[in-house]
Structure 1
Amino acid sequence: MKNLLRLLKEGSRSALWASIMNAVIAVIKAITFFITGNVAMFAEMMHSIGDTANQFFVYVGSALSKKAPTDRFPGGFARLINLVLLGAVLIVGILAYETVKEGINHILAPPESGEWFYLNISVLGIAAILEAYVLFKAMKEITEDIGDNIKGFKIVTKSFKYIDRAKPATKLVFLEDLVATGGAIIAMLSVILGTFTPLIAAEGYASVIIGLMLFFVVGRVFLDNAAGVLGVADEDMERKIGEVVYDHQHVRDIQELIVFKEGAELHVELKIELDPNMSVAEADDIRDDIEARILQVKDVTDVIIEFDEDDETQTWNNPVSQE
């Protein structure tokens, strides 16, 4: 039990916050539905309930992925988060389908608009604010992972720029709450249009748009995590670590360098060339020094280093210094 609690403390904070906030939003929408009987609000309630369960599973998965290797699973559990997210996108896909279907039903048979207008607008406004808060938390977590001390509005711009470098759980929360925040705003506009203009089917069109946005999230997250399950190479980190290794005074060349992701962890395999006249003891000291330098890079968990003698043919082109 103590080990489980320790692992849960290491779970994705953004996923936990998103789950809590969506639970609050689901309760608010449920109360509104029981008061108004509005079918669209029922769909929104189910959407929030689904998001709550989805992001809670992501939080648990991100925590369990940090479990230490065992005799049965010597490779560790880092890729568990990718498997959990592949399951999570199935929930999002079902939500997307139901959202589009409900929107088409509203377009074909628009319900009466205007009743309980202020209550519906208030609930959607509160939902938009809470979703935006969770979205900002995810943005902040993305910028913190980069390692820069980013503050203010730059957190928003930098989070969009570095979304591909975010941890899998954080990326899912970011994308889901980006859609949720935008969807709440679109839903508010549709309620206004449906009440005060002849476009009484506006809520249906809004529902279809939100559903299509959710399908985009499904596709993006599925492709990212399918690659993560297989162990995808990280070219940005290869350039960064290559720079660290090549700067070592005793490294003549880098023959091979592979950095691949397992969940949020990075694994490095390296083959370098040294002076052929160097002793085994000297080479061993160099190995320890290079390994220590690489392990200082964020999220790197293990390093495998091989040596070869200098063949006087340059292989590594040091791409970072050329940028």
Structure 2
Amino acid sequence: MAGSKTVVLAALFANGAIAVLKFLGFLVTGSPAMLSETYHSVSDTGNQVFLLVGLRYGERDPTRSHPFGYGKAQFFYSFLVSVMLFGIAGWESAKHGYSALTHHEAALSQQASLLGYQFPGVWVNYVVLVGAIGFESYAFAKAWKETKRQMERHGWESLREMFRRTSDTTTLTALTEDTVALLGLVTALTGILLTQLTHNPMYDAASALLIGVLLMGFAVALAWENKRLLLGESLPKVDEDELREVVRTFEGVESIADFRTVYFGPNEVVVTADVAFADRFDTDAMDDRITALEDALREANPAVSKVYVEPETEA
């Protein structure tokens, strides 16, 4: 959890500084790409605040009304971030870029002159974008370090596997945002550079539109990943099968009547099992067997926080 909070704080610092710099660049040059990037960074800054609220809320102790704790708060706030990424940054960026491409030819012609070699203002954009790449690289490095740590801990071999199987949506969201931010910055830099070299403002406007589409695409993917956890997803099949095998091969277990897992927070899994034990166990021995089985399940997967084993009688 501490690793996730460090990642979010790093992104918050980076995005806040970048938003101010990008807006200054837009005021100087009027670049559509810079305005799209301003929307992007303002949205990202707000998103980090939501993620911090989710982390804070998720750390609350269990109560009578929430007996399994508040871990799912992080899933909710991460989902909210993906909606904001789509609704504010993505949509506004795409709309502004499309408008610049289709409805403001005169303004674009004026902007082309503004961004020409003779006008030094365009270099403000370059300085801002290069500086922003530096800030975002710092935030991305923090998120990537935490991601690699989790991949090594769980034995995940690829980012795709991590994206599909992780329950730490806070780190996943921060990594996604930082990745999109770097791609957006490179896109804006390319569009502005091409506009300066060709005196064709369409490149700048097109980059603004592309940034919006990029943001919306990643936002939809992020929302989908959060949805599965909000709806009470079980462990991935391979992980659940490993736990089921622990129960099946445990000494004294005859059969498994029912076995279920569900996420109640990042790396917080509840396991329930209806198990038929051998008849040779008396009450005290049965209690010891159940306790030992619960410990074995926790040892097999560190994410297992609660285990409920119900002894069943074989028909």
Going from structure 1 to structure 2, the CA distance change for 1:225 and 1:148 (only over 3 Å counts) comes to: closer
Picking from 290, 306, 313, the partner of 2:310 is 306
Picking from 50, 54, 75, the partner of 2:43 is 50
Which residue does 1:316 correspond to in 2?
none
> How far off its partner does 1:233 sit?
1.5
Which residue does 1:287 correspond to in 2?
290
> How far off its partner does 1:217 sit?
2.3
CA–CA distance in structure 2, aligned partners of residues 276 and 40 of structure 1: 72
Which residue does 2:272 correspond to in 1?
269
Q: Please tell me whether residue 201 in structure 1 is matched to residue 195 in structure 2.
A: no
Contact 1:143 1:158 in 2 (8 A): no
Residues 273-321 of structure 1, C-alpha deviations (whole Å, 9 max, x = no match): 321222222221111111112223222221111122456xxxxxxxxxx
Residues 220-265 of structure 1, C-alpha deviations (whole Å, 9 max, x = no match): 2222223322211122431232233334233333332211112312
State which drifts further: 181-190 or 77-86. 77-86
CA–CA distance in structure 1, aligned partners of residues 258 and 89 of structure 2: 45
Picking from 94, 102, 110, the partner of 2:96 is 102
Contact 2:68 2:264 in 1 (8 A): no
Which residue does 2:145 correspond to in 1?
140
Taking the TM superposition and a 5 Å limit, the aligned residue runs for 1:44-193 are 44-93=37-86, 94-108=88-102, 109=104, 110=108, 111-112=111-112, 113-114=115-116, 115=119, 116-148=121-153, 158-166=158-166, 167-193=168-194
Taking the TM superposition and a 5 Å limit, the aligned residue runs for 1:7-26 are 12-26=5-19
> How far off its partner does 1:141 sit?
1.6
CA–CA distance in structure 2, aligned partners of residues 275 and 293 of structure 1: 18
Superposition RMSD in Å? 2.6
Contact 1:30 1:45 in 2 (8 A): yes
State which drifts further: 173-182 or 108-117. 108-117
Q: Please tell me whether residue 240 in structure 1 is matched to residue 242 in structure 2.
A: yes
Where does the alignment leave 5 or more consecutive residues of structure 1 unmatched?
1-7, 312-323
Which residue does 1:216 correspond to in 2?
217
AA matched with 1:61:
G
CA–CA distance in structure 1, aligned partners of residues 7 and 71 of structure 2: 18
State the SS of the aligned residue for 2:250: coil
Contact 1:138 1:170 in 2 (8 A): yes
Going from structure 1 to structure 2, the CA distance change for 1:169 and 1:295 (only over 3 Å counts) comes to: same
Paired residues, what number?
299
CA–CA distance in structure 1, aligned partners of residues 49 and 302 of structure 2: 26
Contact 1:266 1:300 in 2 (8 A): yes
> How far off its partner does 1:52 sit?
0.6
Residues 133-154 of structure 1, C-alpha deviations (whole Å, 9 max, x = no match): 322322222232244399xxxx
AA matched with 1:87:
L
> How far off its partner does 1:23 sit?
0.9
State the SS of the aligned residue for 2:67: coil
CA–CA distance in structure 2, aligned partners of residues 243 and 144 of structure 1: 27
State the SS of the aligned residue for 2:253: coil
TM-score normalised to structure 1 length: 0.83
CA–CA distance in structure 2, aligned partners of residues 147 and 196 of structure 1: 45
CA–CA distance in structure 1, aligned partners of residues 205 and 213 of structure 2: 13
Contact 2:191 2:207 in 1 (8 A): yes
Contact 2:232 2:262 in 1 (8 A): yes
CA–CA distance in structure 2, aligned partners of residues 236 and 117 of structure 1: 53
Where does the alignment leave 5 or more consecutive residues of structure 2 unmatched?
none
Seq. identity, %: 24
Higher relative contact order (Cα pairs below 8 Å, separated by 6+ residues): 2
Going from structure 1 to structure 2, the CA distance change for 1:240 and 1:63 (only over 3 Å counts) comes to: farther
Contact 2:33 2:207 in 1 (8 A): no
CA–CA distance in structure 1, aligned partners of residues 4 and 175 of structure 2: 16
